[in-house]
Amino acid sequence: MARTLIEEVREGRVPDEVRVVARREGVNEGRLARRIAEGKAILIRNIKSPDRVAAVGLGLATKVNVNIGTSSEVVDLNAELEKVRIANKWGDTLMDLSTGGDLDEARRAVIRESRLPVGTVPTYQAFIDSFRRRGGGAYFTEDELFGVVERHLRDGVAFMTIHAAVTRELAIKALRSDRVIPIVSRGGDMLIGWMLHNNAENPFYARWDYVLELFREYDAVISIGDALRPGATADSHDEFHVAELIEVARLVKRARKVGVQVMVEGPGHVPLNEIVWDVKLMKKLTNGAPYYVLGPLPTDVAAPYDHIAGAIGAAIAGAAGADLLCYLTPAEHLGLPTPRQVEEGVIAFKIAAHVADTIKLGRRARAWDDEVSGFRGKLLWREMISKLIDPERAWAVYTQYGVPKVKGCTMCGGYCPMLMVMQQARGLRGGADG
3-state secondary structure 60-84: CCCEEEEEECCCCCCCCHHHHHHHH
- Which has the higher per-residue pLDDT, 157 or 404? 157
What local confidence, expressed as pLDDT, does residue 1 receive?
Answer: 62
Q: Work out the average pLDDT over 404-424.
A: 80
Q: Which percentage of the chain shows pLDDT scores above 70? A: 98
| pLDDT of 239 higher than 50 | yes
What local confidence, expressed as pLDDT, does residue 405 receive?
Answer: 78
Q: Are 227 and 191 in contact (CB under 8 A)?
A: yes
pLDDT digits (tens, 9 = 90+) for 316-339: 999 999 999 999 999 999 999 999
Q: How far apart are CA 83 and CA 87, in angstroms?
A: 6
What local confidence, expressed as pLDDT, does residue 421 receive?
Answer: 77
pLDDT digits (tens, 9 = 90+) for 182-192: 999 999 999 99
What local confidence, expressed as pLDDT, does residue 202 receive?
Answer: 98
| pLDDT of 278 higher than 80 | yes
For 272, 362, 372, 385, the CA distances from 393, given in Å and listed in that order, are 31, 27, 16, 9
| C-alpha 89 chain-centroid distance | 15
Confidence of residue 412 (pLDDT cuts 50, 70, 90): confident
Confidence of residue 403 (pLDDT cuts 50, 70, 90): confident
Confidence of residue 434 (pLDDT cuts 50, 70, 90): very low
Confidence of residue 409 (pLDDT cuts 50, 70, 90): confident
Backbone angles phi, psi at 134, to 5 degrees: -125, 0
| pLDDT of 431 higher than 70 | no
Q: Which percentage of the chain shows pLDDT scores above 90? A: 90
- Burial classification of residue 177, based on how many CB atoms lie within 10 Å of its CB (0-12 exposed, 13-18 middle, 19 or more buried): middle
Chain-wide mean pLDDT for the chain? 95
pLDDT digits (tens, 9 = 90+) for 52-87: 999 999 999 999 999 999 999 999 999 999 999 999
Q: Work out the average pLDDT over 396-418.
A: 86
Q: Work out the average pLDDT over 32-49.
A: 95
| pLDDT of 341 higher than 50 | yes
Q: Work out the average pLDDT over 275-295.
A: 97
Class of domain 61-361: alpha beta
Q: Work out the average pLDDT over 84-91.
A: 98
pLDDT digits (tens, 9 = 90+) for 120-173: 999 999 999 999 999 999 999 999 999 999 999 999 999 999 999 999 999 999
Q: Where are the domains of the chain?
A: 61-361, 364-428
| pLDDT of 430 higher than 80 | no
Cis bond before residue 296 (omega within 30° of 0): yes
Backbone angles phi, psi at 59, to 5 degrees: 80, 0
SS3 letters across the chain:
CCCCHHHHHHCCCCCHHHHHHHHHHCCCHHHHHHHHHHCCEEEECCCCCCCCCEEEECCCCCEEEEEECCCCCCCCHHHHHHHHHHHHHHCCEEEECCCCCCHHHHHHHHHHHCCCCEEECHHHHHHHHHHHHHCCHHHCCHHHHHHHHHHHHHHCCCEEEECCCCCHHHHHHHHCCCCCCCCCCHHHHHHHHHHHHHCCCCHHHHCHHHHHHHHHHHCCEEEECCCCCCCCHHHCCCHHHHHHHHHHHHHHHHHHHCCCCEEEEECCECCHHHHHHHHHHHHHHHCCCCEEEECCECCCCCCCCHHHHHHHHHHHHHHHCCCEEECCCCCCCCCCCCHHHHHHHHHHHHHHHHHHHHHHCCHHHHHHHHHHHHHHHCCCHHHHHHCCCCHHHHHHHHCECECCCCCCCCCCHHHCHHHHHHHHHHHHCCCCCC
What local confidence, expressed as pLDDT, does residue 419 receive?
Answer: 77
What local confidence, expressed as pLDDT, does residue 86 receive?
Answer: 98
| pLDDT of 425 higher than 90 | no
